[in-house]
Amino acid sequence: MTDWRDDLPDVRGKLLLDQPLAPYTWFRVGGPADALFLPKDEDDLAAFLKALPEEVPVHFMGVASNSIIRDGGIEGVTIRLMGGYWGSVEPTGSHSLFARAGALDLAVAKASAKHGISGLTFLSGIPGSIGGAVRTNAGCYGRELKDVANQIEGITRSGEKVRFEAEIAQYGDPKIDFSYRHSNFPDDVIVTGILLTGSGDGDPDALQAEIADHQARRAETQPIKDKTGGSTFANPDPPGTPDARSSWKLVDAAGCRGLRVGGAQVSEKHCNFLINTEDATAADIEALGELVRARVLDVTGVDLRWEIRRIGRIQTKV
């Protein structure tokens, strides 16, 4: 039987077969990608997608700070836009920046401070890539990506370059619908770059201080030094709901703080975070999440929804 991987298109970046993905994830778990593509630049990516047979599944990942990659690995081609070319962040005027998709949110926040652009420092609280932030409408401290996203560039599964004129996108925008920690950005488009707009009245030192303050608050309240995936469950009520319920309070009320399955544990510091204490598998982490959901449902009647994306094949035991 022929392997679809024998006929992969030529690339200028790297194309790695059976590449372990765990080292690329925050949880440090998960199996290999059938093929991992690290494109050199946009043209390399577009040409590859154009030439790749349409039946080959394609998945996108950033730094997997919001993902559990299952132990059986990911079928098809996984594409990751990190490092070098993909990490650039450049000012495009007095109050906007263009960031390529692999730029870390923290790097975008730091660049905004350097150039005196206010309104973007909230990104320093999010440990993902700016491409991942589009998909998850990442946010904190009262701001979200939708408040600052102006134009989003991407490449479709068939290799066509596209641009979304989002203006300052709002909930309900007909082109890209952003909602709490989610967007309906098309599944078959990989984000390659984003124009972010703040305002040009910022003092670089004050903006740097804002970043330091956000980071100190994070370190105090979240297990950021652990192997984790951020908030596990979405809060059940939309933002702005009076008396909104928090997932962490429900998890705590169900007695799950510190609960363990194998090497996975509910964080003692923040119980909406699951952590890999040492040698957890993806299956341990997912099973722990499901156990927490079942207990919360039993005790509080609330059916929590996973905020973390789970992707890949479940490993079958032999």
Ligand X SMILES: Cc1cc2nc3c(=O)[nH]c(=O)nc-3n(C[C@H](O)[C@H](O)[C@H](O)COP(=O)(O)OP(=O)(O)OC[C@H]3O[C@@H](n4cnc5c(N)ncnc54)[C@H](O)[C@@H]3O)c2cc1C
Q: Residues interacting with ligand X, by CB under 6 A? A: 26, 60-67, 81, 101, 125-129, 131-133, 135-136, 138-140, 181, 190-191, 222, 224, 228-230, 309
Closer Cβ to ligand X, 50 or 310, answer by number:
310
Biggest CA pair distance of the chain: 63
Catalytic pick from 42, 210, 286, 307? 307
Catalytic pick from 183, 231, 247, 267? 231
Closer Cβ to ligand X, 256 or 273, answer by number:
273
Best CA proximity match to 137, nearest among 114, 164, 169:
169
Burial 178-201 (b: 16+ CB within 10 A, else e): bebbebebeeebbbbbbbbbbeee
Closer Cβ to ligand X, 15 or 190, answer by number:
190
Q: In whole angstroms, how close is the CB of 143 to ligand X at the nearest point?
A: 10
Closer Cβ to ligand X, 62 or 198, answer by number:
62
Closer Cβ to ligand X, 59 or 95, answer by number:
59
> Quick count: other Cβ atoms within 10 Å of Cβ 225?
9
Q: In whole angstroms, how close is the CB of 317 to ligand X at the nearest point?
A: 26
The secondary structure of the chain in percent helix, strand, coil, rounded to multiples of 5, reads 30, 25, 45
Q: In whole angstroms, how close is the CB of 26 to ligand X at the nearest point?
A: 5
Q: In whole angstroms, how close is the CB of 310 to ligand X at the nearest point?
A: 10
Classify 155 as helix, strand or coil.
strand
Placement of tokens 């309104």 in the chain: 119
Classify 47 as helix, strand or coil.
helix
Q: In whole angstroms, how close is the CB of 179 to ligand X at the nearest point?
A: 12
> Quick count: other Cβ atoms within 10 Å of Cβ 306?
16
Closer Cβ to ligand X, 118 or 222, answer by number:
222
Closest residue (Cβ) to ligand X? 62
231 an active-site residue? yes
Q: In whole angstroms, how close is the CB of 101 to ligand X at the nearest point?
A: 4
Please provide the DSSP assignment of 245-314 as one string: PPHHHHHHHTT-TT-EETTEEE-SS-TT-EEE-SS--HHHHHHHHHHHHHHHHHHH----EE-SEEESPP
181 an active-site residue? yes
CA distance 26 to 107: 17
Catalytic pick from 100, 181, 293, 295? 181
Residue 215's φ and ψ, nearest 5 degrees, are -70, -35
307 an active-site residue? yes
Residues classed as catalytic: 181, 231, 307
